[in-house]
Amino acid sequence: MIIETRQLGHRGPSVTRIGLGCAPFGNLFTEVSDDDVQSTVDAAWEGGVRFFDTAPLYGHGLSEIRLGKALAKYPRDQYVLASKVGRLLREPKEQISPTIFKNVPQLEPIFDYSRDAILASIDESLNRLNVDYLDVVHVHDPDDYEDWVINEAFPTLIQLRDEGVVKAVGCGMNQTNSLTRFVDEVDLDCLLLAGRYTILDNSSGTELLQLCREKNIGVVLGGIFNSGLLANPEMNKTFDYVDASPEILEKAQTMAGLAQSHGVSLAHAAVQFGLRHAGVSSIVIGARTRNEMNDDLSYAAEVIPQEFWDALETQS
């Protein structure tokens, strides 16, 4: 399969419109074997995917380590690699709190957006990934630290971009208010918007996407299944990493019934929803197995009748 590419803003690299989101490789919710990680990456590569997104937080370093091993057999100049800064992994001073990542290295993710921390985080990610450079670096989840990242983290990354150390600077969050401020005040190349422009939850994302189009900032969508609910609302009732409310669950199940009446699955529609927006450069989809990856690629390729989208708009 040959997957279309789009550029991340006016400076960033071209990325395949389908990327592999690698949070599951950090044992998100459930453990994943090294063999499954390798076969998932292989399936993505065979399907034409050349864009991979990870972060130190995912599995407290485990995702980056596993992704680096899985990509080692592929030419580094043939894929785009994104990771994130803002959480340093350090030895805990006391027992670490339970997380959504299972059986991971006993390292504590520490918020730190200082210049020294940004430089250290990139070096540590390169070591875990066993690569010489990152293409895209996002500031990760600075919800409570907007002024800090504007004054220190972003200037550090922009200097690295200007020096050619990285190709694109972005920010990854699961809310739009902070991202809108950053788009207005920072010379960004791209955003990673998680879970706020999905078939189920898109009200806040629509306005941000339009702003990014006007400023020629690339948008990558993550969390397109809203952490599982949209993959199969009958079996996976997780919405934004917690149990879905009855109202959200009912809405998802109604959408699933509408999709089924048009001969498609809700997961199928969830994948294509973001790709329909002209302001979206790529969507990164998490997968744990070769079969899941192949399913995601087929969802992206198969045609959905326009009648479904018309019915969905009427229902909304």
φ, ψ dihedrals at 237, nearest 5° = -105, 30
Tokens of 38: 């390798």
Active-site residue identified among 58, 113, 145, 299: 58
Neighbours of 278 (CB within 10 A): 8
Tokens of 170: 């972005």
pLDDT-based confidence at residue 55 (cuts at 50, 70, 90): very high
Percentage of the chain exceeding pLDDT 90: 85
pLDDT-based confidence at residue 2 (cuts at 50, 70, 90): low
pLDDT-based confidence at residue 316 (cuts at 50, 70, 90): low
If you average pLDDT over residues 159-183, what whole number do you get? Answer: 97
If you average pLDDT over residues 127-132, what whole number do you get? Answer: 98
Q: How does 44-58 read in b/e, with b if 16+ C-beta sit within 10 Å?
A: bbebbbbbbbbbbbb
pLDDT 10s digits, 21-49: 999 999 998 999 999 999 999 999 999 99
For residue 97, give the CATH number of its domain: 3.20.20.100
* pLDDT higher than threshold 80 for residue 150: yes
pLDDT 10s digits, 151-168: 999 999 999 999 999 999
Number of compact structural domains in the chain: 1
**Structural domain harbouring 109:** 5-315
Picking from 123, 119, 96, the residue whose alpha carbon sits closest to that of residue 107 is 96
* pLDDT higher than threshold 80 for residue 203: no
Output the pTM of the full model: 0.95
What is the chain's mean pLDDT, rounded? 94
Active site residue 74: no
pLDDT-based confidence at residue 1 (cuts at 50, 70, 90): low
